[in-house]
Amino acid sequence: MKTLIKNATVILPGGAAETSVLIEGSSIAAIDVAVQTAVDNVIDATGMHLLPGVIDDQVHFREPGLTHKEDLAHASRACAKGGVTSFLEMPNTLPNTVTQTALNEKLKLAGSRSLVNYGFYIGATTENIEVLKHAERTPGIKIFIGSSTGDLLVDEQDALEKIFADTTLPICAHCEDETTVRANAEKFAGSTDVAVHSRVRDHQAAFIATQRAIDLAVRHNHPFHVLHVSTADEIELIAAGGDLISAEVCPHHLLFNIDDYKRLGSLVKMNPSIKTRLDNEKLWQALLDGVITVIATDHAPHTIEEKQLPYPACPSGLPAVENSLALMLDRISQGLCTIEQVVKWMSSEPARVWGIQNKGKIEVGCDADLTLVDMTLKQVILNEKQETKCRWSPWHGTELTGWPIATWVMGHQVFRQLEGQSEFDHSRMGHELRFVNRGLRDR
């Protein structure tokens, strides 16, 4: 099967070019304005931009075990609609992904249910060091240094030292200091004001845990990725950490702050918590400065009924995977960044950090994971149009300029938007991602 995407502005590793892209099977076969070959399918993309598909390295898709909130079929459709062609999913499902068997089981499920490409982290416990040492078919190890949704937690120094010392896979962590969070929670016990969440999970909690994790990584010479940075204070730590350290920020930590509790209540209750307007600004600047290099969503759906429980019972987490690219394209239309930067943050850097080969860039021979976007299209995010199973968005009612309108996964078109309607092709599933793990390669 050959598809020609003609006359797009294509975001190549060296910059934008008006050209055409030939897909043959699952790969990019040519990038040439004058392709002369018989094809099965021609897409006239004049006026559109063609980007490498987004790689979201932090999502919670809830399968198995929590499928009343989300499942792989809904979540991967949401990905396709949002221009996300690959995801890396977190281990706090039921059962937790803390054994090779549980990880293999998830891979098997995804093989028959996920429209887009998939990978799954192996979760750390205080007892599964042998599993972590020998884990296969995974991008890396996830540690909850502070607890969040679910019961995964590794807080003891000895256990952390052992994981950083004895394993070779890259490590990423949820960094909020458990002791600080527990002490704060006691201080605010009895309060039903959701805004208190940002005082329980405060700046100090994030700083202490990120400092502790980076110290472990540097001492043990271990590649380490700081998930969902939420404070300005952590930026210095990341910058000082050197080449072993990478970091990401989520749209909600860039776009929401404590003022938004008034309007959105528990819909913006997240771990790490949302912080201040100043943190929003400094985190954005850290992206522009290249200290933080990845944008990921931490897509963490809960049902609206669960979210409406009074604080503190309402769970932490919000869905974002189908709107993250559009939220960033809108920043381009506001003149706040360039399309090349968005491609770096959402495609090429996640591919580099996790050693995902042949993805994250548009180059001959790479996988044809592609997203066509209309930078002039204005659309409003509406709960009733969400593909995520929980069917709500904290950005409900927000108009954005710039939207994905078509998505290819391994050369197969899985999504297109026609006159405002989403169309999906479920005839082929995504592929298991392969990793050249930095840890294994370098040590």
According to DSSP, the β-strands at 117-120 and 245-249 are unpaired
What string of DSSP letters covers 282-303? HHHHHHHHTSS-EE---B----
Q: Which residue, chain included where needed, has tokens 């069917």?
A: 391
Shortest distance in whole angstroms from residue 255 CB to ligand DOR: 15
Residues lying near ligand DOR in the complex (CB under 6 A) are found at 60, 92, 148-149, 174, 270-271, 298, 300, 316-317
Catalytic residue among 298, 330, 367, 369: 298
Closest to ligand DOR by CB, 55 vs 270, is 270
- Cβ 65 to ligand DOR, closest distance in Å? 12
In the complex with ligand DOR, which residue's Cβ is closer, 82 or 146?
Answer: 146
Based on the residue annotation, tell me whether 298 is a catalytic residue of this protein: yes
Distances (CA, A) of 404 to 54, 98, 381, 423: 11, 35, 13, 13
Give the number of residues written for the chain: 443
- Beta carbon of residue 92, minimum distance to ligand DOR (angstroms, whole number): 5
- Whose CA is closest to 289, among 232, 208, 331? 232
Which bin fits 221, alpha (ψ -120 to 50), beta or left (φ > 0)?
left
Tell me how crowded residue 308 is: count the other CB atoms within 10 A of its CB.
Answer: 13
CB of 300 to ligand DOR, least distance (A): 4
Q: Would you list the DSSP string of 352-413? A: HHTTBTT-SS--TTSB--EEEEEEEEEEE--GGG--STT---TTTT-EEEEEEEEEEETTEE
Cβ-based nearer residue to ligand DOR, 47 or 65: 65
| Closer of 177 and 367 to ligand DOR (Cβ) | 177
CB of 253 to ligand DOR, least distance (A): 11
Residue 176 or 374 with smaller CB distance to ligand DOR: 176
How far is Cα 399 from Cα 189, in angstroms, rounded to an integer? 38
Active site residues: 298
